[in-house]
């Protein structure tokens, strides 16, 4: 399966996918990595792995909708079977979902439906939950609302800070991402209502 991965930052989730894809039995290849900003470590990781990269910045387009359509076209040019948002910090819009909807997954550092949005680890800490985690889900028009593909749990420790908790989540998140994307690639998947099943 051909994967296009979109990143906005450090790209540790991307790195885990690149390493998994180095084994042919994994059943997927990262064919391109895109970002909404230049100069980030995620893009450098792709370049070091010899993977094509592109940057699509909102400010280079007259409207957000134009940016979304341009991003959709850049992604489409690489003919992905699956698009993985791995720490991509922008919401994709109508054109993107029209082109790629149903085969776009995103990873969220909380147990959906708890704590959607950008502050999952901080909100889990503030709320005082004892268990949090990460969620891989199908991207739809909402914020972290799509059907759940996989989840993994992580304990919250008494002395956690946002950073220590997010770091622990990210370790589990990477494992979940690599396992679930590999299964989607090798086995296929079907979506029925809220349920996602591996297999064709």
Q: Which residues bind ligand GRF (CB under 6 A)?
A: 7, 9-14, 42, 86-87, 107-109, 170, 173
Q: Tell me whether residue 66 or residue 163 sits nearer to ligand GRF (CB atom).
A: 163
108 tagged catalytic: yes
Query: What are the backbone dihedrals phi and psi of residue 51, each rounded to the nearest 5 degrees, phi first?
Result: -100, 140
Q: How far is the CB of 166 from ligand GRF (least distance, A)?
A: 6
Q: Is 153 helix (H, G, I), strand (E, B) or coil?
A: strand
Can you tell me the distance from the alpha carbon of 190 to that of 65, in angstroms, rounded to the nearest whole number? 29
Query: What are the backbone dihedrals phi and psi of residue 192, each rounded to the nearest 5 degrees, phi first?
Result: -130, 110
Q: Tell me whether residue 2 or residue 119 sits nearer to ligand GRF (CB atom).
A: 119
Q: Tell me whether residue 42 or residue 80 sits nearer to ligand GRF (CB atom).
A: 42
Q: How far is the CB of 135 from ligand GRF (least distance, A)?
A: 9
Q: How far is the CB of 176 from ligand GRF (least distance, A)?
A: 10
Contacts of 124 (CB under 8 A, 6+ apart): 110, 114, 115, 132, 156, 165
Sign of CA dihedral 92, 97, 99, 102: positive
Q: Which of 61, 100, 108, 166 is catalytic?
A: 108
Q: Which residue is nearest to ligand GRF (CB)?
A: 87
Annotation: binding site? 11-13, 64, 89-92, 106
Local structure of residue 25 (DSSP, 8 states)? G
Annotation: binding site for (6R)-10-formyltetrahydrofolate? 64, 89-92, 106
- Which residues are the active-site residues? 108
């Amino acid at each position: 399966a051909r994967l296009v991965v979109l990143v906005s930052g450090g790209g540790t989730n991307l790195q885990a996918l690149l390493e998994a894809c180095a084994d042919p039995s994994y059943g997927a290849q990262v064919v391109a990595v895109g970002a909404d900003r230049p100069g980030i470590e995620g893009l450098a990781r792709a370049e070091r792995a010899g993977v094509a990269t592109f940057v699509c910045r909102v400010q280079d387009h007259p409207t957000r909708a134009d940016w979304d359509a341009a991003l959709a076209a850049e992604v489409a040019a690489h003919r992905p079977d699956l698009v993985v948002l791995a720490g991509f910090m922008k919401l994709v819009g109508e054109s993107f979902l029209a082109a790629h909807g149903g085969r776009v997954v995103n990873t969220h550092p909380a147990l959906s439906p708890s704590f959607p949005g950008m502050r999952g680890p901080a909100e889990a800490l503030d709320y005082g939950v004892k268990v949090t985690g990460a969620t891989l889900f199908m991207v739809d028009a909402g914020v972290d609302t799509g059907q759940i593909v996989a989840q993994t749990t992580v304990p919250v420790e008494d002395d956690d800070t946002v950073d220590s908790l997010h770091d622990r989540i990210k370790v589990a998140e990477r494992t979940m991402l690599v396992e679930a994307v590999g299964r989607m690639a090798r086995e296929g998947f079907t979506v029925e209502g809220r349920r996602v099943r591996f297999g064709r």
